[in-house]
Structure 1
Amino acid sequence: MSQPSPQPDRAAGHNPRSSGPGRLIIALYAVFVVGSLSRAGFQIATRFQEAPLAYTLSALAGVIYVVAAISLALPGPRAWWVSLAAISTELVGVLAVGLWSTLDPAAFPDATVWSGFGRGYLYIPLVLPVVGLWWLWSTRPGTVQD
């Protein structure tokens, strides 16, 4: 009789969130980390007084992207919950800032990553958290088939 093949051990570092489509999602978050934080850092350092709200929100978006990228790449249920919190916050942020910047453009003399629902970034900031939440749901602890 043949023995069933052993399943990968999650405790040994297996992370279903960083495989398959998860790799692309993490890569997109990494790109947005670099883009949003470098842009916000430059704007805050050189012309913060022109649009403090916009630049601060772009920096906040960058920090949320950092947390999402790292937590998606880490194994375990705690990292899953951190990812859920970060990506949910991102979705609320892009919806709130997108709506706010559309209804009151004067409040945003310069765009944020989330202005106009991410219009300046091909709407990826709007689509990415939706895809990220779908991926998290698909890889939630205790339900992933390895």
Structure 2
Amino acid sequence: MESRTRPRNMTGVGRVLVVVYAILALAATGRSFVQIVLRFEHAPLAFTLSAISAAVYIIATLALIFSASRAWYLVAWAAISFELVGVLVVGVFSLIRHDLFPEETVWSWFGSGYVFVPLVLPFVGIWWLVTHRPGREVAVPESEPMERSSW
């Protein structure tokens, strides 16, 4: 049986992680766009931080997709680390300085508007980066059918 190699980030949990980041990138981008266009003057700091979070999720998504390369792997580390600090700092400030966050953002209240996914996601992303360094590959059988019993 022939086998080929595939970067580990494009299998199983890696795919799910990329999909979740992509969904969050789309949601944060849409939310920040609407907030900035319709009500920017009401909460400029909060809405600017929403736009920053959207950019971070877009960068993290791309970096995870291409993280088999050393450069993209480092970009993924930077983006996910920034995301973690952002959600923690904005989460704390949204609780203690509600006047700075009169409207909810992606990271306010630790991402409660997104079922706390923004709080959990960077920890999962960091775990993934630690366990899936570039250059590590997994052998994938060329023509092995997927077993239904494993679903």
Aligned to 1:113, the other structure's residue is in SS state coil
Residue 115 of structure 1: aligned partner: 108
Give the secondary-structure state (helix, strand or coil) at the position aligned to 1:120: helix
Q: For the residues of structure 1 that align with 2:138 and 2:28, how far apart are their CA atoms?
A: 35
Contact map agreement 2:69 2:134 (CA 8 A) in 1: yes
> Match for 2:57 among 43, 65, 75?
65
Structure with greater strand percent: 2
State which of 126, 133, 139 in structure 1 corresponds to 2:126.
Answer: 133
Match of 2:29 among 32, 37, 41: 37
One-letter amino acid of the counterpart of residue 54, structure 2: G
Q: How many aligned positions are there? A: 138
Question: Which 4+ stretches in 1 moved above 2 angstroms?
Answer: 5-8, 141-146
Can you give the 5+ residue segments of structure 2 that lack an aligned partner in the other structure? 140-151
TM-score (norm 2): 0.85
TM-score normalized with structure 1 length: 0.88
- If asked which structure has higher relative contact order (CA below 8 Å, sep 6+), I would say 2
Match of 2:86 among 90, 93, 98: 93
Instruction: Please give the per-residue CA displacement for 1:84-125, whole angstroms capped at 9, x wherever unaligned.
Output: 100000000000000111111111010110001111111000
Partners of 2:95 and 2:7 in 1: CA distance: 39
CA-based RMSD of the aligned residues comes to: 1.7
Shift of 1:19: 1.6
Q: Tell me the secondary structure at the aligned position of residue 129 of structure 1.
A: helix
Amino acid at match of 2:14: G
Contact residue 138 and residue 144 of structure 1 kept, 8 A: no
Letter in 2 for 1:136: L
Letter in 2 for 1:128: L
CA distance, structure 2, for counterparts of residue 76 and residue 45 of structure 1: 37
Identity %: 42
